[in-house]
Amino acid sequence: MNSQPAQAVDLLGAITANVYFVMIIAMFAARIVGRLELGQWIGLVSILTMIPLAYLFVVGLKADRPFIYFLWIGLMLLFLLFELTVDHILKLDFRSVRWAVIPYVMFFFGATGGMIGLAAQAGRSWAVATTLIFFVMAAMAFIQRAKTGL
């Protein structure tokens, strides 16, 4: 892959990471203000980031990306698949069970943390911006948990 298509792919990764983070911030904000149904819909839409992530995974295979690249994307794809299955298909209420919440939160932060690495492929400014948005998302996660128990 020459540098121009590689740059476009890296930019897609950075944009995907940031769009996902902003959607999750909006979902947490909706929950905080009591708009649970809106939060549910935003969460459902956020799962659509599986599409560009799957594309990035396939293109990465052709471009001989390092293993960590696939770990970042694969972990996020697994997390999104888990969200789709547990929250939207099976509609399980696992967030009220402490022993289930702790591994779930670890999974969430592991998967989303990898998205910083994905965004960093597009350059330092993307890495910094994505990290800052990640910290806002992380703060919102704990604020909404404290306020709503979700």
Mean pLDDT, range 44-58, rounded to an integer? 98
Reported as a pLDDT band with limits 50, 70 and 90, residue 96 is confident
Percent of the chain surpassing pLDDT 90: 91
Q: What is the pLDDT of residues 137-146, one digit of tens each?
A: 999 999 999 9
* Segment 32-40 long-range contacts (CB within 8 Å, at least 24 positions apart): 32/140, 32/143, 32/144, 32/147, 32/148, 40/87
Task: Give the span between the Cα atoms of 127 and 137, in whole angstroms.
Answer: 15
- Say if CB 56 and CB 73 are below 8 A apart: yes
- Say if CB 101 and CB 95 are below 8 A apart: yes
Q: Is the pTM value of this prediction over 0.85?
A: yes
- pLDDT confidence of residue 2: 57
**Single-letter amino acid code for the residue at 21:** F
Reported as a pLDDT band with limits 50, 70 and 90, residue 1 is low
Task: Give the span between the Cα atoms of 1 and 54, in whole angstroms.
Answer: 18
Task: Give the span between the Cα atoms of 120 and 114, in whole angstroms.
Answer: 10
